[in-house]
Amino acid sequence: MSELRKYEINTSQYELYKQMHEKQTLDYVMKKRLQYSKLNNTKMSIKEVLSRMDNFIDPSDPDLDVPNSIHAYQTAERIRKKYPQDKEYQIIGLIHDLGKILFEFGEENWSVVGDTYVAGCEYPKSIVYYDTLKGSPDFDKYTKIGIYEIGCGLDKLNITFGHDEYLFQVLKGNDNHNISQKYLDIIRYHSFYPWHTGGDYYQFMNEKDKTTLKNINEFNSFDLYSKEDPIEITEEVKAYYDKLLDEYFKGDLSW
């Protein structure tokens, strides 16, 4: 476990975070949210998007060197092992990273992947590669509360834009699926490490967020360790999820 999530300087991860930290200002985050909430990029089924993850390896994750579709099935399979009856939870394992389709819309990696944090308030030290935040025009601009209010709830925060927020917007904005709010929140905040693992931003939490925190901490135990736990993805496994996706999604979604 201690081998995982080790970040060093002068690696591709470092470069990604340096760019993210300099460019994901409050202004940028608000613009990207508005742009993508329109869902006017394309219409695709959830299966089509999943299959497009075959050729994509996450550049931000130091622990992952398999295509994202394999990561999707492996995460789902770990959930199925523990919760064989909970189909919705399994589906979330499968789809949680599909927001990475943002790459196909021309977004750069610092706007798609990596740990997220809040724009519009002070940056806590728990943010990975904290020092590169000093290159942001927003550095030292805000207090610990910033433009927000104590207890306002995470949903009110402008969290850096990426695959979490994007897939949340897609699922929120399409009604031809039956994924419930609990799972939408897991998707939305799963990369929010300074909060769910770093213990920061608690000043903004409301009652709902306490439940989300518990849910995400459990979800993350299924999400991370693909290299160490090589689950085989057979045709039977793929067929199982194919059927499951048919139960939860109907037709194309607007992306």
Q: Which residue ranges make up the site for Fe ion (CB under 5 A)?
A: 97, 223
- CA 145 vs CA 121, 141, 204, 221: distances in Å: 6, 11, 8, 30
Host H or E run for residue 112: none
Q: Which ranges of the chain does DSSP label H, i.e. alpha helix? A: 12-23, 26-37, 46-52, 68-82, 87-95, 163-173, 181-189, 193-196, 207-223, 235-248
Could you give the 3-state DSSP secondary structure of residue 254? strand
CA–CA separation, 57 vs 65, rounded Å? 6
Dihedral angle of Cα 216, 221, 222, 223, to the nearest 10 degrees:
70
Q: CB count, 10 Å around CB of 27?
A: 13
Residue type for position 213: L
**Shortest separation between residue 78's beta carbon and Fe ion, angstroms:** 11
Q: Which residue number is nearest to Fe ion in terms of Cβ? A: 97
CA–CA separation, 233 vs 213, rounded Å? 30
**Shortest separation between residue 219's beta carbon and Fe ion, angstroms:** 9
**Shortest separation between residue 68's beta carbon and Fe ion, angstroms:** 8
Nearer CB in complex with Fe ion: 122/218:
218
Nearer CB in complex with Fe ion: 21/96:
96
Nearer CB in complex with Fe ion: 26/98:
98
167's CB contacts (< 8 A; 6+ apart) are 95, 96, 97, 98, 99, 187, 188
User: Which tokens belong to 145?
Assistant: 């509360």
**Shortest separation between residue 163's beta carbon and Fe ion, angstroms:** 6
Nearer CB in complex with Fe ion: 146/215:
215
**Shortest separation between residue 156's beta carbon and Fe ion, angstroms:** 22
**Shortest separation between residue 61's beta carbon and Fe ion, angstroms:** 8
**Shortest separation between residue 190's beta carbon and Fe ion, angstroms:** 6
